[in-house]
A and B are shown apart, each in its own frame.
Chain A
Amino acid sequence: MYRYNDIDRELVDQRVAQFRDQTERFLAGELDDEEFRPLRLMNGLYIQRHAPMLRVAIPYGHLNSVQLRTLAEIARRWDRGYGHFTTRQNIQFNWPKLADVPDILALLATVEMHAIQTSGNCVRNTTTDAFAGVAADELLDPRPWCEIIRQWSTLHPEFAYLPRKFKIAVSGSVEDRAATRVHDIGLQVVRNAAGETGFRVLVGGGLGRTPVIGEVIREFLPAPHLLTYLDAVLRVYNRFGRRDNKYKARIKILVKAMTVEGFAAKVDDEWQHLKDGPSTLRAEDIAHFSSFFVDPDYHLKPGAHGDLAQQAGEDRGFARWLERNTRPHKEPGYRSVVLSLKKTGVPPGDITAEQMEAAADWAERFGFGELRVTHEQNLVLPDVREADLHALWLLAREAGFATPNIGLLTDIICCPGGDFCSLANAKSIPVAEAIQQTFADMDYLHDLGEIELNMSGCMNACGHHHIGHIGILGVDKNGEEWYQITLGGQQGEQAALGKVIGPSFARARIPEVIAELLQVYVALRQEGERFVDTVHRTGIAPFKEKVYAAHH
């Protein structure tokens, strides 16, 4: 894991001081709402329904146990005892007081954390695969590159006031778990025929109002040129992106207007001036950043298969959890464990202070003190010995963390929606809960297999509903909350946007509609076929027929 040096520390402290000054000037009336707004947003502070919401950065989803305990302390002292993990691998607090925020930031700074650029029209937290560095299918570790990009993007003096927010994702595995195709810039770490490391560069992807799958603008960018190339892309966007209409200000609109080829050519022109400049990464620089992400000493805690098979054979609950909530590890004898934050009755992604502390303890006891946040809003213990899994399962079950539903229908990805967010058209949390209650039968859930259900409370798509196998979007119909359903969306290499099945539904009907969709799937599926694959094979017609038939 990356550790701060003196300069990192100084920068974060200075940012806290700057924000303290901005907050004080606002509270003293020297800055008006309009002036303070972009300043506070750039530091992750929204004004929500009930109170300000503070979004704290978790760079590429990496946390250590000390940081997680500090988040627990913040939740207890300044919030109502819990936090909420977001689809950008960050954490949000929904109840702090504005005047307390500088103190919260000062505490975060003591554990190398901050809220820099977690909102606003700037480069946001770079995201990656939550299993980076430990995944069995990893080709190249994306984390050194994430850290290089984190430093480059943090307080970049040229790109603090972009036309709109800007999101970068990096992936280095076979399965793209970082959703690189739906980011402003997606980087896939690859190796060329000569064995050199580089990036496939995609631009213009994104969800929101106008969902677009990103397109490749460079098949192979040699690694040393990463930063000069990013500078070129950002400069073209900063200068030519639209600023007259915030709904047309994302880079995807610029790419469309210029065409992908036109945009790539413009970037290339710009890059010719920057290429080989001082930001070029030398082998020693790459080695320096990579040195933070070496494997822990797996031998200190020698892996043992223990009697995993026997334990699983004896306990169906454990077997299920093992199947759904753990993942293969590159190191034999280890697995990565996903702690489910999708328990029925708890808003998806919410975590209590007690849970944070428990997870921090387990990270130390069973792992190497590290944790990851997934963009599906769960928490990961990356390195757990197989021999420890049963003990961990018992503890996790006790703490409400062990619902064996990772990747299943009830592992719902969901934005805070109308309960908290002032932009919402509709609530999302109660809908998620109603669905979880309807599908409480674990046997049925497991039989249904992998289904990603994503829900957003408005077009801003924080719940990534477009790429849910089932997507639910809150819409406003004459002041009432209605929900539109899309089918067939998908993340990863085969990224696809879901198709709207028809007119929206009242909230009360949603669980029933989902049940009907699943009945169609069960009736039509072929051996081993996932829900989304059935949808792609049959099209949406049979699903549509079923849900609209009986109710006309």
Chain B
Amino acid sequence: MPHIIKDGEIIDDGWLLMRLKEGLPAPAPDAAEQADVIIPLSLWRDSAEWRERTAGRTGVWLGADEAPDLFPGDWNDFPLVAVDFPAFTDGRGYSIGRLLRERYNYAGELRAIGDVWKDQLAFLWQVGFNAFEIKHGKPVEDALAALKSFTGHYQSTWRQPEPLFRRGIK
């Protein structure tokens, strides 16, 4: 089972991530498949079968160009929402994560997937991500340490809504 970082610990993770292959039709859910699957948000919207699937749990992932308002329902109906980082220098997912937490009040697991490794973790954590699937080939233990890179922040973030100047630290 692959390791991911969740809530500051390295854990075994059973979720399967489904990425659609270009040009191929999206697969229908297998009634016998009991695994927990993270499917693209677009597939959730397009497929009643996926929406009604009961064999295992179903989470969704958003691309960096997908807006959280694309989903009209309650994000809290999902046990897991993931956001894709197509490149580690692509910062759109930070805004998406923050919006999911702050504007859509999503309280479940928020997972960063894609080109995700050590040096992004501290900021991803601040904007609301609590789970990180570290890119294949990058050390997971080493990445874990990065969550503690910074003990303070100036800004208002999801983790610490009061900015430094309001916390009376002069």
- Asked whether A285 and B89 contact (CB < 8 A) given A11-B152, A157-B157, A273-B103, the answer is no
Would you give the 0/1 interface string for A1-34, flagging 1 where the beta carbon is closer than 8 Å to chain B? 0000111001100110110001000000010000
- Asked whether A278 and B162 contact (CB < 8 A) given A157-B157, A162-B91, A235-B95, the answer is yes
B98 contacts A by Cβ under 8 Å: yes
* CB of B119, distance to nearest CB on chain A (Å): 6
Q: How far is the CA of A24 from the CA of B117 in the complex (A)?
A: 16
Interface residues of B in 144-170 (CB under 8 A from A): 146, 149-157, 161-166, 169-170
Interface residues on B, range: 35 or more
Q: How far is the CA of A113 from the CA of B89 in the complex (A)?
A: 26
Q: How far is the CA of A529 from the CA of B118 in the complex (A)?
A: 59
Q: How far is the CA of A155 from the CA of B163 in the complex (A)?
A: 13
B94 contacts A by Cβ under 8 Å: yes
Q: How far is the CA of A376 from the CA of B162 in the complex (A)?
A: 38
Among candidates A238, A243, A285, residue contacting B95 with C-beta atoms closer than 8 Å: A238
Contact count A vs B, C-beta below 8 Å? 101
13 sample A-B contacts, Cβ–Cβ < 8 Å, listed by A number: A10-B152, A17-B149, A18-B119, A30-B139, A39-B119, A154-B154, A155-B150, A158-B91, A161-B90, A235-B95, A238-B94, A278-B162, A279-B156
B contact residues around A7 at 8 Å (CB): 152, 164, 169
Q: How far is the CA of A192 from the CA of B155 in the complex (A)?
A: 28
A285 touches B91 (CB 8 A): no
A contact residues around B98 at 8 Å (CB): 158
Binds A, one of B7-15, B22-30, B37-45, B120-128: B120-128
B169 touches A161 (CB 8 A): no
Of B67, B126, B153, B157, most A-chain CB atoms within 10 Å? B153
B contact residues around A11 at 8 Å (CB): 150, 152, 154
B89 touches A278 (CB 8 A): no
A238 touches B119 (CB 8 A): no
- Chain A residues near B (Cβ < 8 Å): 5-7, 10-11, 14-15, 17-18, 22, 30, 35, 38-39, 121, 148, 151-152, 154-163, 227, 235, 238-239, 243, 273, 277-279, 281-282, 285, 288-289
B119 touches A22 (CB 8 A): yes
B127 touches A278 (CB 8 A): no
- Asked whether A157 and B161 contact (CB < 8 A) given A11-B150, A14-B151, A152-B154, the answer is no
* CB of A171, distance to nearest CB on chain B (Å): 23
B92 contacts A by Cβ under 8 Å: yes
Would you give the 0/1 interface string for B103-116, flagging 1 where the beta carbon is closer than 8 Å to chain A? 10000000000000
Among candidates A35, A157, A159, residue contacting B153 with C-beta atoms closer than 8 Å: A157
B contact residues around A163 at 8 Å (CB): 91
B contact residues around A289 at 8 Å (CB): 165
- Asked whether A161 and B152 contact (CB < 8 A) given A151-B165, A285-B166, the answer is no
- Asked whether A158 and B151 contact (CB < 8 A) given A151-B164, A273-B103, the answer is no
Q: How far is the CA of A281 from the CA of B164 in the complex (A)?
A: 11
A contact residues around B119 at 8 Å (CB): 18, 22, 39
Among candidates B150, B151, B166, residue contacting A278 with C-beta atoms closer than 8 Å: B166
- Asked whether A157 and B165 contact (CB < 8 A) given A10-B152, A151-B154, the answer is no
* CB of A342, distance to nearest CB on chain B (Å): 37
Among candidates A30, A162, A235, A279, residue contacting B155 with C-beta atoms closer than 8 Å: A279
Q: How far is the CA of A151 from the CA of B169 in the complex (A)?
A: 13
Q: How far is the CA of A277 from the CA of B94 in the complex (A)?
A: 19
A contact residues around B163 at 8 Å (CB): 152, 227, 278-279
Of B89, B98, B122, B146, most A-chain CB atoms within 10 Å? B89
B155 touches A157 (CB 8 A): yes
Q: How far is the CA of A227 from the CA of B119 in the complex (A)?
A: 26
* CB of A55, distance to nearest CB on chain B (Å): 19
* CB of A196, distance to nearest CB on chain B (Å): 20
A contact residues around B146 at 8 Å (CB): 18
Q: How far is the CA of A154 from the CA of B92 in the complex (A)?
A: 18
B91 touches A238 (CB 8 A): yes
Of B126, B152, B161, most A-chain CB atoms within 10 Å? B152
A5 touches B95 (CB 8 A): no
A contact residues around B124 at 8 Å (CB): 157
Q: How far is the CA of A277 from the CA of B157 in the complex (A)?
A: 11
Name which residue of chain A comes closest to B146, CB basis: A18
